[in-house]
Chains A and B, each alone.
Chain A
Amino acid sequence: GIQVEQSPPDLILQEGANSTLRCNFSDSVNNLQWFHQNPWGQLINLFYIPSGTKQNGRLSATTVATERYSLLYISSSQTTDSGVYFCALGGYNKLIFGAGTRLAVHP
């Protein structure tokens, strides 16, 4: 099956810092999404990005499908960015989630 590896597993930032989260995957996919799970447990869809680059405010994501990786950029981090970031990918409908990157942003 598809293997998903996220790095780093944990990240601590000071407010205002930038960061890059990485997702490596083992097979070609046509569905890749990034999610944020906030400290209250809610899972929020950030990006649907099987290829190319998208931006939404301070967040942006790039997927290079041919090289089987995706990056999530967080600029000018805020304490509200804390939580776990998941990369999820797979075939048309069956998304497999990575283990996540746990981010803590300190004021």
Chain B
Amino acid sequence: DAGVIQSPRHEVTEMGQEVTLRCKPISGHDYLFWYRQTMMRGLELLIYFNNNVPIDDSGMPEDRFSAKMPNASFSTLKIQPSEPRDSAVYFCASSSGAASYNSPLHFGNGTRLTVT
């Protein structure tokens, strides 16, 4: 299996622009998570999906952030408009089944976003 695939690996954009991050989970995994990592706040859970349905988006910082999962093999995280404080590494992760049944979380390689 190719693992969780994220694109792009790096994104540099100007403040005010729209940014779209993409993720392909591991085939067969029915849970998908978006995390953000910064030096100040560490790893934060933004939102997670189960069977393509958003379950908990309480970590999404504000309305400028939105996430979708149109099918089992694709998810996007969109920031519109972007701001310099959104600069971070964004990780997508997936797991199979309920986490109580030995379902380790697998991360993609992340997207490093820089907003100037």
Contacts and interface: CB of A to CB of B under 8 A. Distances in A.
A43 B42 contact: no
A50 B100 CA distance: 8
B55 A93 contact: yes
B107 A43 contact: yes
A14 B76 CA distance: 43
Task: State the majority secondary structure of interface residues on B.
Answer: strand
Nearest to A90: B99
A26 to B, nearest CB: 17
Nearest to B43: A97
B104 A94 contact: no
Contacts of B110: 41-43
Q: How large is the interface on B (under 10, 10 to 19, 20 to 34, 35 or more residues)?
A: 20 to 34
Task: State the majority secondary structure of interface residues on A.
Answer: strand
Contacts of A33: 104-105
Interface in B60-76: none
9 closest pairs, A vs B, by CB? A97-B43, A43-B107, A48-B104, A45-B104, A31-B99, A93-B99, A30-B100, A92-B99, A92-B100
30 contacts: A30-B99, A30-B100, A31-B100, A33-B104, A33-B105, A35-B105, A35-B107, A41-B89, A41-B112, A42-B107, A42-B110, A43-B107, A43-B110, A45-B106, A48-B104, A86-B43, A88-B105, A93-B31, A93-B50, A93-B55, A93-B99, A94-B45, A94-B56, A95-B45, A95-B99, A95-B105, A96-B45, A97-B35, A98-B42, A99-B42
